[in-house]
Amino acid sequence: MIGYDRTNKHRGLKDALSNGYYPHIAFHDLKKFYVSDKLFGPFLRRIPNTKRPDFSSLLIKLGLPKAFDDMDLLQATGGRLATDTYEFVSPILINDGNFKLNFYIAGLRHYYSGAVHDLSFKNKLLLEKDPENKYDPFAVKIRLCDGVMLGFVPAFYSEFVTKVIDHQCRFQLEIDRLDSFAMPQLQVHVSFFGSLNKSSSEIENYYVGTTP
């Protein structure tokens, strides 16, 4: 089941509509919930073909097990195509005060002048708020421990990450996938996880991606 989140979230539906977004033709009713017992056709067409010769190696690159399903594949790839800018982002998962989200570093090709193959899973990553950013007041930079900038937290997650920083919650940011041969926006994948504290309890109520 899918439906539109019509609450007033940063970089949410209202922001998108005000910036010219039109609902997907297959899901045009903003107030309706759409139900299916399998992945919707428009989404299915956006995931890699399992018959492609390099599919086994693709699963490894995406960190997926052999026992995957279509939803796993959609979540791992974001359903990105070269022909449009649609992307399906993973929800922020919050369970018993613990949170986790995974994303590709945004803006890597614009900000990181080094080579991706020089990075490693051991690299320590730092977060730095960028409140003067003219595109996103919640923008958060991602840097290496020596100050070298890699890029940004994707804008869809920036408000949540900013709240985690402001409330001094415990968190870790780790590289979990590297692919120097992928397109720049898919080269460095990270995992951001930690725990909320008492002063940040409203964060859990604000975000809908809560695990059962």
Chain centre to alpha carbon of residue 151: 14
- Residue 144 C-beta-side C-alpha neighbours within 13 Å: 17
Over the stretch 65-80, which tens digit does the pLDDT of each residue have?
Answer: 989 999 999 988 889 8
Share of the chain above pLDDT 90, in %: 54
pTM over 0.85: no
The answer to the question of residue 189 being in a domain is: yes
The answer to the question of residue 212 being in a domain is: no
The verdict on 67 and 143 lying in the same domain is: no
Over the stretch 126-176, which tens digit does the pLDDT of each residue have?
Answer: 999 999 999 999 999 999 999 999 999 999 999 999 999 999 999 999 999
pLDDT band at 18 (very low <50, low <70, confident <90, very high): confident
The answer to the question of residue 85 being in a domain is: no
The verdict on 114 and 187 lying in the same domain is: yes
- Choose the weakest-confidence range: 29-33, 60-64, 101-105: 60-64
- Name the residue with higher pLDDT: 145 or 81: 145
Task: Please say whether the beta carbons of 75 and 88 come within 8 A.
Answer: yes
Chain centre to alpha carbon of residue 203: 18
State the total domains in the chain. Answer: 2
The answer to the question of residue 1 being in a domain is: no
